[in-house]
Amino acid sequence: MSITCEYVRDLFDYRCDGKLIRKVHRSPNAKVGDVAGTHKKKKGNQIKIGEKLYQTHRLIWLWHHGYMPEGCLDHRNRNNLDNRIENLREVSHQCNLRNTGNHKDNKTGVKGVSWEKQKRRWQVRIGLNDKYKNLGSFKYFYEAVLHRLAAEQCLNWDGCDSSSPAYRYAINNGLIKPSP
């Protein structure tokens, strides 16, 4: 049996801060008025309905849109605890993977752009099909960032621009204008 929007709305109210509030007393630990769900470190908040666990953000999507997304839901701001409906978007698996923070050893703040000490130039690369493609080296950081952004756009990473560190750098430094 698949869960329906009506059933979720019978069980929960949605608050604008991205929380689901219980409308039904289901167990000693789940009282009316309580915030629903438990937090799992890498999975975000989860809610048990019957014998099945659901990710809270997916139930919120169902509550608002009337259907459970088949693919991925992305948290625009990368905070998997921020389940406000305006922070959620339906995306491809690839876009969801791209909207992650920089690797812990990234020093530039832009994915795929690093300083090549021996050449004294900015090196640019991009991941494609589990391999990295070298996009060249550049004298100026802004050139490297723009080449990285151009590669992302050429690869048609639709819906990912606004979460791309290269895009945000270019916007914040007046190198390009925001997309409408």
CB under 8 Å to 20, separation ≥6 — which residues? 12, 13, 14, 35, 36, 37, 47, 56, 59, 60, 63
148: nearest Cα among 129, 159, 131, 132: 132
Q: What is the pLDDT of residues 32-91, one digit of tens each?
A: 999 998 887 766 789 999 889 999 999 999 999 999 998 889 888 888 889 999 999 998
Average pLDDT of 157-162?
A: 62
Work out the angle between the directed axes of helices 165-172 and 141-154 (0-180°, nearest 10).
Answer: 130
More confident residue, 164 or 68: 68
Structural domain boundaries in the chain: 5-91, 101-172
Q: List the CATH code of the domain at 5-91.
A: 3.90.75.20
pLDDT tens readout for residues 108-146: 989 899 999 999 999 999 887 778 899 999 999 999 999
The pTM score is 0.72
Per-residue pLDDT, 161: 58
* Statement: residue 158 has pLDDT above 70: no
Closest alpha carbon to 14 in 75, 85, 86, 68: 85
Does domain 101-172 fall under CATH 3.40.1000? My reply is: no
